[in-house]
Amino acid sequence: MKMGRTLGVVATGGILFGLWISGWLKGFGLGDSKFPGVQVSTQQTKVSDEDVDQTLSKTNASTTLASSTDSRPETQAAPPVLDIIIDDAGFHFRNSQTYAIEPAVIPLDQVIQQALLTTPSNEGPRVKIYRKASSRTSNEARLSAALTEAGLKPVDIYWHPAVTE
């Protein structure tokens, strides 16, 4: 009985010593906080336009579509993948050739019309949605509901997890 208690005390002491030493060595554990081995981060990940542009240029390298820098007319065909950026003002498209965010705010009904013009494929989503730090949750919810009501499946919609600048 006494041997079992001693082993429990030694094991507990060893674990506590390991946590304490990992705080000093910073290579073991998660380090850099008030308690050794514990780290909590509440920062948002930010992605620059250049990072997004590089990613999109890789996925859209085979896509060649003429488009102007003005907002898209309703009769123009949408690219195979439609990039939508949400900010506090509303919705914007990303130009499929220059990957620049078009400055004109696009009404939700026109966004849905353009999304429905994209062609479904097995290669990936039809719509990619990016959020700026200033995006409003209400705009995101309206867009999500409208895309679902229009008949787009969850696999057709990609919500980029990081904030776009």
Q: Give the 3-state DSSP-derived string for 11-38, with helices as H, strands as E and coil as C.
A: HHHHHHHHHHHHHHHCCCCCCCCCCCCC
Instruction: Give tens-digit pLDDT for 27-79.
Output: 544 444 454 444 445 555 555 666 656 655 554 443 333 333 344 444 455 56
Instruction: Note the pTM of the prediction, 2 decimals.
Output: 0.52
User: What is the rounded (10 degree) CA torsion for 142, 148, 153, 158?
Assistant: 0
Instruction: Give tens-digit pLDDT for 86-133.
Output: 998 899 999 878 888 888 999 999 999 999 998 887 888 999 999 999
Angle at 55 between CA 50 and CA 56, to 5 degrees: 95
**What DSSP designation does 112 have?**
H
Beta bridge partners of 73: none
